[in-house]
Amino acid sequence: MKISNYFASLWSGPDPLRQKKEIAAADNANRELIFYYADYANRPDEALRIAAHEFERRKDVYTLDAYGWALAMNGRNVEARQHLEDALAVGVRDAQLLYHAGIIAQHAGDVAGAANLLHQSLQLNPVSEFAAAARAALEKLSAQKCRTERPACGEPAAARWSESPTP
């Protein structure tokens, strides 16, 4: 069962007491719930509320990612970017983390940084859950680059960004 379907069935009914108990539990699925609210349920405010609660308890890489993503979905890109940079500074390379960092960099206006991160996400896992969205974002960034710099724009976006350095 896809995670979005699981949470849709789990949280579809109004049962605030059940929700509070699940969120407060030490062993829970809060990170997945954060992504569900941010990406599928169109409730970024709820994603951020849960992410802030989770961030108080855990400071691991994946919680930084979830918190950063929730911040970004609420338009708080400067804070979001810092959390993703902190997560990536640990050295973990994960397609989802790199995708999120790339999209946040794009929202912050860092075209080259966004392209580099999205390209790394695709290099790491070209068939990840985020690969199609990363390719679409690269195409959008490439179109921006073509409008401003006028390079040879006949090649695919991933090829245009291939000169981007990767750590």
Q: What DSSP string describes 71-138?
A: HHHTT-HHHHHHHHHHHHHTT---HHHHHHHHHHHHHTT-HHHHHHHHHHHHHH-TTSTTHHHHHHHH
Q: Is the pLDDT of residue 124 over 50?
A: yes
Per the prediction, the chain carries an average pLDDT of 83
CATH 1.25.40, applies to 1-7+26-92? yes
Indicate the pTM of the whole model: 0.74
Q: What is the mean pLDDT of residues 113-119?
A: 97
Write phi, then psi, for 74 (nearest 5 degrees). -105, 15
Q: What is the pLDDT of residues 18-75, one digit of tens each?
A: 655 555 555 567 899 999 999 999 999 999 999 999 999 888 999 999 999 999 999 9
* pLDDT per residue as tens digits for the range 143-160: 887 777 655 565 555 555
For the chain, the structural domain boundaries read 1-7+26-92, 110-167
Round to whole Å and give the CA distance between 74 and 167: 29
Name the CA dihedral angle for 131, 148, 153, 94, rounded to a multiple of 10 degrees: -20
